[in-house]
Amino acid sequence: MQTHNQAAPGALELVRRFLNTWSIPNQTRVEVDNLPVLARDADKWREELSLHPRAESDTLERLSELRSDLRKSCEGLDDDHQLLNAWLARVALSVKAVAAEGGAPGLCVTSADTSYVASILALVANAISSGTWSRLKTCDDCRWAFYDHTRNGSKRWCGMTKGGVDGRACGTIAKVSAFRARAAAKKSPITDGG
């Protein structure tokens, strides 16, 4: 079923929000980084990203590096998971078997380290374990992070209608461009001599 809901299930939504602290708004198409503003304001940080307050180790540089590497993973640019593994090796995570859906054992990853970076990585590890990480995607067009709720996991754009979040219409824009390209090709003077 087509849904315009972009939110990720459970706490994974916090990771999605973190990824979207960097965005390219439709209106301007100019990159915006909200992280410095959020990092300066503890209230805004809690409101937007909750989870944990920033620890001393959560420097802007570290946060922005994590965001960029997690984005690469979502964009399929970290195929061998080297970036992800490097991050997972940097924080102390512990793994516990828990009863998951249907009583089958699942994994629960927690972190004793209460830094924001470690908490985000624990959420990512849990998402990988539960199979939801691959559904956190970035729009082919504007790179906005969204959760793919479609049955076959085929969603490529953040929103298909102008009524979507922030009035984005990337899928529509892409389809119009493809239509125009096809129309232009048809009008092209190159014929097969007929």
Which residues of this protein are in contact with Zn ion, per CB under 5 A? 139, 141-142, 144, 158, 170
Least distance (Å) from Zn ion to the CB of residue 170?
A: 3
Least distance (Å) from Zn ion to the CB of residue 167?
A: 11
Task: Compare residues 65 and 140 and give the one whose CB is closer to Zn ion.
Answer: 140
Least distance (Å) from Zn ion to the CB of residue 13?
A: 18
The residues, ordered by sequence, that sit 6+ positions from 100 with a Cβ below 8 Å of its Cβ are 106, 130
What is the DSSP secondary-structure string of the chain?
Answer: ------PPSTTHHHHHHHHTTEE--TTT---EE-HHHHHH-HHHHHHHH-SSPPPTT--HHHHHHHHHHHHHHHTT--TT-HHHHHHHHHS-EEEEEEE-GGG-EEEEEEES--SHHHHHHHHHHHHHHHT-GGGEEE-TTT--EEE--STT----SS-SSTTSGGG--HHHHHHHHHHHHHHHHHH-S-----
Amino acid in the structure at residue 190: I
Task: Compare residues 44 and 175 and give the one whose CB is closer to Zn ion.
Answer: 175
Task: Compare residues 72 and 90 and give the one whose CB is closer to Zn ion.
Answer: 72
Least distance (Å) from Zn ion to the CB of residue 107?
A: 32
Task: Compare residues 121 and 170 and give the one whose CB is closer to Zn ion.
Answer: 170
Least distance (Å) from Zn ion to the CB of residue 141?
A: 4
Task: Compare residues 14 and 170 and give the one whose CB is closer to Zn ion.
Answer: 170
